Each structure stands twice: as C-alpha cells, then as structure tokens.
A and B are shown apart, each in its own frame.
Chain A
Amino acid sequence: MLLQRIFASVLLLACVGLALMAWPYQAAFSYEPVGPRAFPLLMLGLMGLGLLYMVFRPTPIVHSDDDPKLDRETLIKIGICVLLLLVFAGAFEPLGFIVASILIGIPMARLYGGRWLPSTVIISLMAIGLYLLFDKVMDVPLPLGVLDVLEN
C-alpha cells in the first residue's frame, strides 16, 4: 500500500513537471486549431486524476503463490543485474560486442546460479556465435571494438 502511494505520488509529481515543461510548447506558425500542446496536456491531466485517486485509495496487490516477497538479497541481485546491463550498454561500442557480452554474460550467468567453468565456456561460445550469426549471416552490423585488429 505504502509503496503504491509513494509510486503514485512520484509519478504525479513527474506529471506536474512534464505539464510545466509542455506549457510553453507553441507552434510558431499554426495552420490548425489544435497545437502541439493540447494532447500531451490532456493525457497528463487524465493520468494525474487517476494517480490522485490512487494516492488516496490504493488497491491492494494480490500476491500469487509463486511470487515471493522481495527480500534484501533479491534486491541486491537486481541492483547488480541492472549495473551489469548498464556496463553492457556502456561497453558495447568502445569494447565491441564480443568482449562486452563476455564481460557481462559471465557474471550474469553466475548471478542466476551457474558455475564458473560452464558459464565461461557457454557464454564465450555464445558471444562469438551470436556475433557471427548476426553480423556475418544476417547483416546486422555489430561493433568489433578492441577486436578490430583481428579483422585485417
């Protein structure tokens, strides 16, 4: 309940902020009666009303059996996972696809309960295999990054 209230309030604040941001949107030349401001404001307004209701009357979340409650351990894991994904995004171009994938794939496999050796072998093979599959076979260009020297 409390979580929902907090979430609704934060989103409500975001709505207000975005509405303020949208306020000055006006076309320099206008050929039509409705400008670029009306629709986003309408959506934000309706969303705001809904969220306001939620702040005061949040609906209880029904927990199913296979949906365990969040504990500290899971939260830490989720934090690490997000961090790994961010590293992946950051390393994608400078280090290249293969290196970045191996770099984040192995710790991620560990996070999901894999052992060191099988994780390393499978992720490394997968990274190279996916690179060949997408870049060479399917024409989706992927950066090579530091492995660029191997190309020539």
Chain B
Amino acid sequence: MDTLGYLGQGFGVALSPYNLVTALCGTLIGTVVGLLPGLGPINGVALLIPIAFALGLPPESALILLAAVYLGCEYGGRISSILLNIPGEASTVMTTLDGYPMARKGLAGVALSLSAWSSFIGAFIATCGMVLFAPLLAKWAIAFGPAEYFVLMVFAIVCLGGMAGDRPLKTFIAALIGLFLSTVGIDANSGVYRFTGDNIHLTDGIQFVVLVLGLFSISEILLLLEKTHRGQEAVKATGRMMFNFKEASSVFVVNIRCGLLGFIMGVLPGAGATLASAVAYMTEKRIAGANGTFGQGDMRGLAAPETAIGGAACGALVPMLTLGVPGSGTTAVMIGALSLYNITPGPLLFQQQPDIVWGLIASLFVANIMLVILNIPMIRIFTRILAVPNWALVPVIAIITGIGVYAVHATTFDLFLMIGIGIFGYILRKLDFPLSPVLLGFILGGLMEQNLRRALSISNGALEILWSSPITFGVWVLTAIMLLMPILRIWRKRSVARRVIADV
C-alpha cells in the first residue's frame, strides 16, 4: 500500500495551485501545437524545454508542463483529423476514417467530445496500469547492471525496426545515424575529441534541442512548401457538443479493450501510438464484423483508435520512468529534458525523487480531466485556429524554432547546424526514412556506449558478461525474435504472392 501513499503525495504536488496552472498552460499550448500543421508533439515538447529552463521552473513543474503538452498535442491532433480529414500526426490517421464521416453527418461536436472521452478512458486505464506496474518494474530494474542495460537498449533499437513493418532496414539505418551522432563531441571517459573537426562549438556534442528542431521543424517547413494550396474547408462544429449516455455506453466495452491494448503497446519500446491505434481499429473492425458501419462514421471506429492512442501515450512513459529507456520519439525528448535538469530517469528515480515521479503520474490524471473539460467551451476557438493560413503560420514557426535553438547556448552556430540537420532530415523523409528512430538512437547512444564500456570494465574486457546473466540472455532471445519478425513477414508475403500467381 506504499503505492497509494506515494500517489497521494503525488496528487499533493500536482494539485498545488502553481502546478495546476502549469498543467493548464501546458494542455492549452499542447492543443494549439497539435492542431497546427507542421508541429507535432515532438517539436512541441522540444520547443518548450529551453523556455521552461529559462523560466526557471522547478524540475517537477517542468516535467508536468511537458507531459501536459504531450497529452495536449495528442488531443489537438484529433481536432484537425475530425474536422479537416487531415491527420495532425501519424497516430491520428485512423481517427480520420470514422471521425470525418461523423463530422459530415453533423455530429462533429459529438465526435470531438466522444474522442476526448475515449482518450481519457484510455489514458486513465494506462495511468492505473502505470501506478500498478511502474513501481514493480522499478524494483526489478534495480537488479539491472550495465550489461543488462546495454542489452536492453539493443532490444529497444531492434524493436523499433521489428515493429516498423515494411521498412525495417531504413529504420535500422536511421537509428544507427542517431547512435552515431550521439558520439560527436568530447568523450567523457578519455577526454578525446571525437568528430568535432576542431570546431569549438561541437566539443559539447550536438545539442539535442538543435537536433530535434532541425529534424522535425525545419524538415516539416520544407515539406509544407510542396503543399501550399489549402483546399479543404473545416466542417463547422455546430449542434450538440456533448455525447449522451447511450452513445458513451455503446462504446464502453471498446474503450476498455482498446485502452488495455494501447497501454501494452505503449509500454513496448518502438511500438507507440501509431501502431496501437492501427491495431485497435483493425481489431474492432473484425470484432464488429457485418453489423458495423466502419468507415462511414461508426462510433466504435472513432473510439477504438482514440482510446488506444490515449493508452499508448501514457504507457510510453512507463519504460521511460522505470528503465530510463524511451519508448517513443516524444518520451525520448522528455528524457533529454530531464537530463538538462541533471535528472537521470531510471529505477533510482522512484527512490530518490518520488515527488517528481508521482507528481508526474498524478498530473497525468489532472491533465486528462482538464482536456475533457476544455473541449466543450474551447472547441470554437480551436476551430478558428485551424483557419490560419500557412503563409502566416510557417514563418512564425520558423522564427520560434530559431528562438528555441538560440535559447540553449546563445550561439548562431547552433542555428546553422539546425538548418543543416533540417536539410538532411528533409532528404531522409523524401527517401521514406522514418525520423523518430534517429532521435531515439541519439538519446540512447550516449547511455548505450557508457553502459557497454562500464560492463566491459567490470569484466575486464571479457565479452561474456554481455550474455552470461539470465536477464541478458533472455533479452537477447527476445531481440533475436524481433530481428526475425520482419524477415518472417517478408517471407510470408512472398509465399502468399507466389500462391496467388500459382492460382492464376
């Protein structure tokens, strides 16, 4: 029952007026950022890091702010999916399938509030799961030595590729690019300057805010140039704004099922909200079978992906808090933020900084409730924001991105570096490389190298330490399974294709 006591303490932190205001600001900023094209949760969170730091927020408030922004972004993404049929992020693609038809039927307000409600249930289930499992996992994780950590990170990277589906190779290459970029700068153990090319600004390594904003904001700005025309009108959200009891109860079972699914998928490294929403939608479509009107505005089709996204977004925080291994691009950014405050997430965080961990968990509850309440009066204002044209928006995004980067070190070198990384990111995107593995690799790279070197120092250079303990061995087996997954999938696809040819 320690957990409940800690949770109560966490609510004490989260419900202090200062942190409540922080969470409210975070959800508002997050929603707007999620709404706008070209800004997603990753750049939203990254942009706020230097600002939170400059404002002198204490670490727990800063983390609450970032978590609120994260949830708000997920929420804002759905507004543009439902009203415009344009998914704000990759994860909300599934929401458009049934959300937009519902809006066309004149149920825009209902669709929005129902999706907020679903997402709330998903997040609620996941947060409960987090309360139950995170301390257990943290306790277990204390048994992890450097060798175990190294193997776990290898697993996380491989998971990314294994889950990515049709392009495992590109995902691996992207992750390796990130891992390599993390080695730039002075080596902490030996003092050797690596890959700096005698540039004084690179001694510290590449600042991760610079990398994130370059990769995601600048490349997005360039991508938006290709689509300057803006054809679609937003569906007006008129009429009934709130779902009624009957509608809510008709999707309740779906909510529970998809919430659990989302949580599990969120905890797994690499899977994340995008995959969770897709799997949830497909599963519910199959369960509903013939009596569903999926694709034409079925409420279950709206509730399923939304619940899963809510669950996965919170679930992704579990590996981040307990193991210090991020499960998604956004949580990777949050780890970067924590390291600015000299806080290393991991099992010890639960013992040394319970205020931060439990305050964050409690504030997730608070932020979720805020989002549901915000939805009703604010939706008209949010739809107004959707009407801002790109020509006014993009230069402002570019300028704010510049401010965010400049705020870290106050050097223009970082601005140039960001543009360079942005162009590289744009090329990667055009060639169909996923970008968030670069980010995950970058965050994991430093940890991975440190743990590898520490492990081998313990064993005095003998490589056996990397697979001799039962934990490491088990994780290696899982890694091997993950590596085989894409190969198996390709092989099966080929044999199906061959059978089709044979049948013809």
Chain A hits for B412, CB < 8 A = 89-90, 92-93
* In-complex Cβ contact of B183 among A43, A112, A141 (8 A): A43
**Contact of B187 with A by CB under 8 A:** yes
Q: Which of B144-202 contact A (CB under 8 A)?
A: 166-167, 169-170, 172-173, 176-177, 179-180, 183, 187, 189-192, 194-195
Chain B residue nearest in CB terms to A127: B399
Q: Which A residues have a C-beta under 8 Å from some C-beta of B?
A: 3-4, 7, 18, 21-22, 25-36, 39-40, 43-44, 46-47, 50-51, 53-54, 59, 61-62, 66-68, 70, 74, 77-78, 81-82, 85-86, 88-90, 92-93, 97, 101, 104-106, 108-114, 118-119, 122-123, 126-127, 130, 134, 138-142
Question: How distant is the Cα of A86 from the Cα of B422 in the complex, in angstroms?
Answer: 11
CB distance from A56 to the nearest CB of B (A): 12
Report chain B residues within 8 Å CB of A46. 172, 176
Judging by beta carbons under 8 Å apart, are A81 and B225 in contact? Answer: yes
For B461, give the chain A residue with the smallest CB separation: A33
Compute how far the CA of A92 lies from the CA of B431 in the bound complex, rounded to whole angstroms. Answer: 32
Are A32 and B172 touching (Cβ within 8 A)?
no
- How many residues from B make CB contacts under 8 Å with A? 68
Provide the residues of chain B in CB contact with A27, threshold 8 Å: 187, 189-192
| Of the residues B218, B403, B430, contact of A142 by C-beta under 8 Å | B403
Using a CB–CB cutoff of 8 Å, the interface residues on chain B facing chain A are 50-51, 54-56, 166-167, 169-170, 172-173, 176-177, 179-180, 183, 187, 189-192, 194-195, 218, 221-222, 224-229, 389-392, 394-396, 398-400, 402-403, 406-407, 410, 412, 415-416, 418-419, 422-423, 426-427, 430-432, 445, 448-449, 452-453, 456-457, 460-461
Please, how many angstroms separate the alpha-carbon atoms of A138 and B445 in the complex?
32
Known: A27-B191, A43-B179. 7 other contacts (CB 8 A): A3-B431, A22-B195, A31-B457, A88-B415, A101-B395, A110-B391, A126-B396
Q: Which residues of A contact B427 (CB under 8 A)?
A: 7
Complex Cα distance, B218 from A29, in Å, reads: 41
Residue among A32, A39, A61, A88 with max Cβ neighbours from chain B (10 Å): A39
Can you name 12 A-B pairs with beta carbons within 8 Å?
A22-B195, A27-B187, A32-B189, A32-B453, A34-B461, A59-B167, A61-B431, A62-B432, A86-B419, A104-B398, A140-B406, A142-B406
Q: A32-B189, A92-B415 are in contact. Are A43 and B176 (CB under 8 A)?
A: yes
A31 to B426, CA, bound (A): 42
- Given contacts A139-B54, A139-B55, A140-B403, whether A50 and B419 have CB atoms under 8 Å apart is no
Whether B394 lies near A25 (C-beta < 8 A) is: no
User: What residues of chain B lie closer than 8 Å to A92, measured between beta carbons?
Assistant: 402, 406, 412, 415
Residue of B with least CB distance to A139: B54
Give 6 nearest A-B pairs by CB, closest first: A114-B391, A33-B461, A27-B190, A89-B415, A112-B391, A36-B187
The distance in angstroms between the C-alpha atoms of A97 and B416, with both chains bound, is 15
Q: Is the CB of A53 within 8 A of B389?
A: no
Which listed residue, A34, A36, A81, A101, touches B194 by the CB 8 Å rule?
A: A36
